[in-house]
Amino acid sequence: MTRVVVDVMPKPEILDPQGKAVTGSLQRLGYQGLTVRQGKRFEITVEGELTDERIDQIRDAAEKLLANTVIESFDVRVEES
Amino acid sequence: MTRVVVDVMPKPEILDPQGKAVTGSLQRLGYQGLTVRQGKRFEITVEGELTDERIDQIRDAAEKLLANTVIESFDVRVEES
């Protein structure tokens, strides 16, 4: 079983209300000097062999379903286990 | 500016309704053989130098604020830029 990780983050120019809320909470709890942006992490377990074609398919799925590419960027990578 | 990434994932024994929904949607869209678990990714920009003490502080914050350690596990790592 191979694992592919897709990270989805709000684009830099996009406001990130979740990240802003977390940044504010950290400050109130006494953790200073930290700025947070919040995104999503998908861990995908692939049945069978992980071919280049399969990775292209996952990249395609990430673009269509996992990320909203108007406001989010994504990164697909294979994780060695 | 250094960046620290905190990944928060549902623990393996915990049901993951978001991941289940994504897995189902991928299948309906024709992407077979993929099982998805969904978590969160926090990108933390640290002001000033990133000392070991600072990383410990972030680990502490992750445990208290970013992850619900009853149902989620988390991983803190420094990302080279």
ipTM of this complex: 0.93
Q: Is the predicted pLDDT of residue B41 greater than 80, yes or no?
A: yes
Q: What is the CATH number of the domain that holds B26?
A: 3.30.1280.10
Q: Confidence band (pLDDT; 50, 70, 90) for A14?
A: very high
pLDDT at A2 (0 to 100) = 82
If contacts are CB pairs under 8 Å, which of residues 53-72 in chain A contact chain B? 57-58, 61, 64-66
Nearest to A22 among B39, B42, B46 (CB): B42
Rounded Cα gap, residues A62 and A68, in angstroms: 9
H-helix or E-strand spanning residue B27: helix B17-28
Rounded Cα gap, residues B64 and B55, in angstroms: 14
Q: Confidence band (pLDDT; 50, 70, 90) for A80?
A: confident
Q: Is the predicted pLDDT of residue A81 greater than 70, yes or no?
A: no
Long-range contacts of B50-58 (CB under 8 A, 24+ apart): B50/B2, B50/B4, B50/B78, B55/B4, B57/A31, B58/A31, B58/A34, B58/B4, B58/B6
Q: Is the predicted pLDDT of residue B42 greater than 70, yes or no?
A: yes
Q: Confidence band (pLDDT; 50, 70, 90) for B81?
A: low
The residue written with tokens 């990714």 in the block is B41
Rounded Cα gap, residues B72 and B6, in angstroms: 12
pLDDT tens digits, A19-32? 999 999 999 999 99
Domain region containing B46: 2-79
Instruction: Tell me whether residues A42 and B22 touch, CB distance under 8 A.
Output: yes
> How many independent structural domains does chain B possess?
1
Rounded Cα gap, residues B75 and B62, in angstroms: 9
Residues of A whose CB is below 8 A from B46: 33-34
Phi/psi at A40 (nearest 5 deg)? Answer: -120, 150
Across B33-40, average pLDDT: 97
Instruction: Tell me whether residues B45 and A34 touch, CB distance under 8 A.
Output: yes
Residues of B whose CB is below 8 A from A33: 46-48
Q: Is the predicted pLDDT of residue B62 greater than 80, yes or no?
A: yes
Q: Is the predicted pLDDT of residue A57 greater than 80, yes or no?
A: yes
Nearest to B41 among A7, A64, A65 (CB): A7
